[in-house]
Amino acid sequence: MTANVSTDAGRNATRPASLVHRSNWPERLAEGAVKGVALLSIAAVVLILLFVGKDALPVLLDPEVQKEVSFSSLFAPIAGSGFMWQPVSLTPKYNIVPLLVGTLKVSAIALLFAVPLSVLAAVFVSELAGKRTREIVKPAIELLAGIPSVVVGFFALVVLAGWVQRVFGTEHRLNALVAGLALSFAVCPIIFSVSEDALRAVPDSYRAAALALGSTRSQMILRVVVPAAAPGIAASVVLGFGRAIGETMIVVLASGNAALLGWSWGTSTRTVTATIAQELGEVVVGSPHYHVLFFLGAVLFVCTLGVNLTGERIVHGMRRKLGGGS
Amino acid sequence: MTATALPTPGGAPGARSLTTRGKAGDRVLSTLTTVATVTILVMLGVILVDIALGGAKVISWEFLSADPREGMTAGGIFPAIFGTVALTLLMTVAAVPAGVATAVYLSEYASRDALLPRLVRVCIANLAGVPSVVFGLFGLGFFISAVGRGIDRAAFGGRLTYGQPSLVSAALTLSILTLPVVVVATEEAIRAVPLELREASLALGATKFQTILRIVLPEALGGILTGGILAVSRGAGEVAPIMFTGAAYFLPSLPLHLNDQFMNLGYHVYVLATQSPDVDRTKPLLYGTVLVLLVLTFLLNLVAILIRLRTRRRLRAGA
């Protein structure tokens, strides 16, 4: 018995030794139940994939649906009308290129503002701020993540849009710039936390070595700490991008929602998420339009999945490298 | 000799220049980073102050306790508050036990490098990254069309009961969305419980499950509470997942059954802001609704962050 416990502890030092081998059915039942519940999260991901995919696939496979829409008509310009998203008309046009461009445009604007601000703030909090400042600033920025996106969207619609129009004199009151700015509110906390974690993961021996060699604080930060944390900072940007393309309520309220193709930041813009949010409520279940909206959802799901997996992988790789190096 | 350890760019004077130029660099960097930090905090402040000022004028007992009147341009938002609370409570009932069990599995039962727990971790991380509108599509396709219609066929002879947007399908959809929040907070708390406590319990003859139930979970209660609060705060503010799964713009009566539709603060803001024909008349009410929603989610968040900060400080003091 004791031998059993000690080998178990030896094999797995972080866990308390347990009486694993005593056959005790309530124990096994409890373990089985806990494990069963844990598997729900795997089931959830699989079910999301299955059930969003199930209603998206008719776009590619169902001949009835394909009378109105096909894979190529989703992406290639339609004869006579070009790239056009106009699902409610005599001859519905489902070209998703304007929506994809809209999403990329708004996300790019959001990152343009959020990345420099959040990374610099992360450097400040992790390297320069005193302990007391850090303990106020860090939770405050995390609080920004706690504001519901519909609230940020409302603020953008009612207040920010007016400011932007006064400063830039944009053609449309609601446009890609307003949506991008509002979206950067939502993206900042993610980029900040992941970057800050990455900077803090750099061992203090690096800093000590740099200072001992006579570098100033700014040299130490810019040439030693930031390069060492660079993968984590890159991951923060990737994860921020993932958040930006998936955000719905902010862009629904702030972007103006006209599906115009173009890269201008001052025009009304429609994103993938906003299209789903606004149109799914009014669509006939099982119609081609319905399936195209699920197809958009599936595209979104796959994109964010890829983006997030990439981000996670970079973070883990960096942690392993820094952990092994110190 | 240690030059190789420092990534000094080629040609730069490197570590030798401890001159005024270096000090100026320090000042520039610290100014830049301070400005960036202050900018983010000002953004936060501007939103909060604007909504607090705009909303405070509207908030009254009548606003909080009465039904909307005159096409949503007068009266109160009580049904939306009620619906939001009912929705998040129901969501918590599903998400917290599932999240805690998952965290217990990951930290107490599974060995760290086995395939299954790693897969669970990847799935949790991905659930946290799935866009909320995709959860809405999933809720519609799974909980309403597949499960709900299935129940209707099996138990209600095909009469539409659960196969339509409802409180329960919206709550279940939200519970999947908030599951990662609960798991992450709980796991952190469980891992912070000292090993000695478990060893003492096991040494006294308690079984593993008894140890988890009576020692580990009570010790980790603060973290579990934090996770639950964060989940409620997140769930109360989400709109995209519930707009196709159960939220309604206006209902004459409160939702009293699981398969009733419900009103919701966030959805109310969305519809009022986008589809109202008379924005100037609804604007004060909008501000009021946004303030109520913000206070609800924000206070919960603040409480959770404070609890977490205290636990972390206690841990660091103990270590």
Other beta carbons less than 10 A from residue B266's beta carbon: 28
DSSP assignment of A217-240 equals HHHHIIIIIHHHHHHHHHHHHHHH
Q: Decide if B204 is inside a domain.
A: yes
**If you average pLDDT over residues B215-231, what whole number do you get?**
90
Question: Higher-confidence residue: A66 or A195?
Answer: A195
Min Cα distance B37 → chain A (Å) is 5
Model confidence pLDDT, tens digit, residues A104-125: 999 999 999 999 999 999 999 9
Token reading at B105: 């599995």
CA angle A6, A7, A12 (to 5 degrees): 100
Q: Decide if B12 is inside a domain.
A: no
For residue A93, the cross-strand partners are A86
Q: Decide if B51 is inside a domain.
A: no
Min Cα distance B62 → chain A (Å) is 22
C-alpha to C-alpha distances, A197 to A309, B35, B64, B229, nearest whole angstrom: 18, 20, 41, 23
pLDDT given at position A90: 73
**If you average pLDDT over residues A219-233, what whole number do you get?**
93
Under 8 Å CB-to-CB from A220, ≥6 apart: which residues? A207, A210, A211
Q: Decide if B36 is inside a domain.
A: no
CB contact under 8 A, A148 and B236: yes
CB contact under 8 A, B239 and A192: no
For residue A147, give the nearest of B47, B140, B176 by CB distance. B47
pLDDT given at position B21: 59
DSSP assignment of B154-210 equals HHSTT-SSSSSS-HHHHHHHHHHHHHHHHHHHHHHHHHHS-HHHHHHHHHTT--HHH
Q: Return the C-alpha torsion angle A191, A193, A196, A201, nearest 10.
A: -120
Q: Can you tell me the distance from the alpha carbon of A296 to that of A286, in angstroms, rounded to the nearest whole number? A: 15
Half-sphere exposure of B72 (CA within 13 A, CB side): 26
| Interface residue B45 vs chain A (CB under 8 A) | no
Q: Can you tell me the distance from the alpha carbon of A85 to that of A93, in angstroms, rounded to the nearest whole number? A: 5
Phi, psi of A78 (to 5 degrees): -85, 140
Centroid of chain to Cα B306: 16
Q: Can you tell me the distance from the alpha carbon of A65 to that of A57, in angstroms, rounded to the nearest whole number? A: 10
Q: Can you tell me the distance from the alpha carbon of B301 to that of B294, in angstroms, rounded to the nearest whole number? A: 10
Min Cα distance A208 → chain B (Å) is 12
Q: Is residue A257 within 8 Å of A186, Cβ to Cβ? A: no
Sign of CA dihedral A278, A279, A280, A281: positive
Phi, psi of B74 (to 5 degrees): -150, 175
Q: Decide if B42 is inside a domain.
A: no
Q: What is the CATH number of the domain that holds B149?
A: 1.10.3720.10
Q: What is the pTM of this model?
A: 0.86
pLDDT given at position A225: 94
Angle between helices B78-104 and A25-56 (to 10 degrees): 120
Which domains does chain A show, CATH number per domain?
71-325 (1.10.3720.10)
Average pLDDT value for chain A: 85
For residue A269, the cross-strand partners are A256
Q: Decide if B28 is inside a domain.
A: no
For residue A117, give the nearest of B40, B116, B120 by CB distance. B40
Sole residue written with tokens 């008379």: B278
Question: Higher-confidence residue: A178 or B73?
Answer: A178
Q: State yes or no: pLDDT of B218 exceeds 80.
A: yes
Of all residues in chain A, the one with the smallest CA distance to B22 is A216
Confidence of residue A7 (pLDDT cuts 50, 70, 90): very low
Other beta carbons less than 10 A from residue B115's beta carbon: 8
- Burial status of residue B1 (CB atoms within 10 A of its CB: 0-12, 13-18, 19 or more): exposed
**If you average pLDDT over residues B60-85, what whole number do you get?**
84
| Interface residue B167 vs chain A (CB under 8 A) | no
Phi, psi of A15 (to 5 degrees): -115, 145
Q: Can you tell me the distance from the alpha carbon of A131 to that of A173, in angstroms, rounded to the nearest whole number? A: 43
Q: Can you tell me the distance from the alpha carbon of B135 to that of B242, in angstroms, rounded to the nearest whole number? A: 9
Residues of A in contact with B30 (CB under 8 A): 124, 128, 218
Q: Decide if B142 is inside a domain.
A: yes
Model confidence pLDDT, tens digit, residues A131-145: 899 988 988 898 888
- Among A25, A118, A120, A154, most B C-beta atoms within 10 A, so best to mutate, is A154
Token reading at B109: 């039962």
Instruction: Kindly state the percentage of chain B with pLDDT values over 90.
Output: 51
CB contact under 8 A, B126 and A309: yes
Domain span at residue B279 reads 56-318
Model confidence pLDDT, tens digit, residues B102-125: 999 999 998 878 889 989 998 998
Q: State yes or no: pLDDT of A4 exceeds 70.
A: no
Token reading at B282: 């609804």
Q: Can you tell me the distance from the alpha carbon of A230 to that of A316, in angstroms, rounded to the nearest whole number? A: 13
Helix (H, G, I), strand (E, B) or coil at B66: coil
Other beta carbons less than 10 A from residue B66's beta carbon: 15
CB contact under 8 A, A224 and B243: no
Chain A residues 56-115 within an 8 A CB cutoff of chain B:
none
DSSP assignment of A57-95 equals THHHH-HHHHTT--HHHHHSPBTTTBS-EE-SSSS-EE-
Q: Is residue A271 within 8 Å of A103, Cβ to Cβ? A: yes
Q: Is residue A268 within 8 Å of A260, Cβ to Cβ? A: yes
Question: Higher-confidence residue: A171 or B11?
Answer: A171
Buried b (16+ CB within 10 A) or exposed e, A152-185: bbbbbbbebbeebbeeeebebebbbbbbbbbbbb
Sole residue written with tokens 């000022």: B53
> For chain B, what is the domain count?
1
Q: Decide if B234 is inside a domain.
A: yes
